[in-house]
Amino acid sequence: MKNPISNQDGAILIVTLIILMLLTALATSSFQSSTMQEKMAAASGQRSIAFQTAESAVEDVLNNTANFTAITVLPEGTTQDLTPTFTTDSKVGANASITQKGKTVAKGSSIVQGSGFVSYVFEVTGHGQMQRGTTAVSEADVIQGVQWTAPN
């Protein structure tokens, strides 16, 4: 009587190798997918930091009324670049600018033309960026319109 195991002729070896190759392909695909997700999460975090820095630059300009007083004496359309007063680390940078867009009567207020007050319209732009070495890896801009009433 012949042993039934000896009739296999290595079939189990071939099946095992095929299963091993499938598991290896599955593991490789899983590693690549998780690496891509990690890169996307890092990019999202860097974009968020750049955006928050740009917003901070705009808020820094808005909180200092001297910025508005200084630009009201300049001609309409003038843009003044400003350096934010807050500090950032070496990987994060911010700058801001304020542009005088013109004068208008403040809608919805009791201040009328000829009352000695005028409403100036400004555009405040904040720019934030996240860097790796000297290369910017993420940048964001925030633009906000402002109406500011001051003595004429």
Note whether residue 50 is domain-resident.
Answer: yes
How far apart, in whole angstroms, are the C-alpha atoms of residue 140 and residue 47? 7
Asked if 53 contacts 139 with a C-beta cutoff of 8 angstroms, the reply is: no
pLDDT tens, residue by residue, 39-87: 999 889 889 999 999 999 999 999 988 888 888 888 888 899 988 877 7
**Looking at residue 26, what is its pLDDT?**
94
Structurally, how many domains does the chain consist of?
1
Domain extent for 89: 8-151
pLDDT tens, residue by residue, 120-130: 899 999 999 88
DSSP per-residue string spanning 64-128: -HHHHHHHHTSPTT-EEEE--SS---TTEEEEEEEEEEEEE--TTSS--TTSSEEEEEEEEEEEE
Note whether residue 65 is domain-resident.
Answer: yes
Note whether residue 94 is domain-resident.
Answer: yes
Note whether residue 92 is domain-resident.
Answer: yes
Note whether residue 77 is domain-resident.
Answer: yes
Note whether residue 2 is domain-resident.
Answer: no
How many CB atoms sit inside 10 A of residue 148's CB?
18
**Looking at residue 107, what is its pLDDT?**
65
pLDDT tens, residue by residue, 103-149: 887 666 666 666 677 888 999 999 998 888 778 789 999 999 998 88
Note whether residue 37 is domain-resident.
Answer: yes
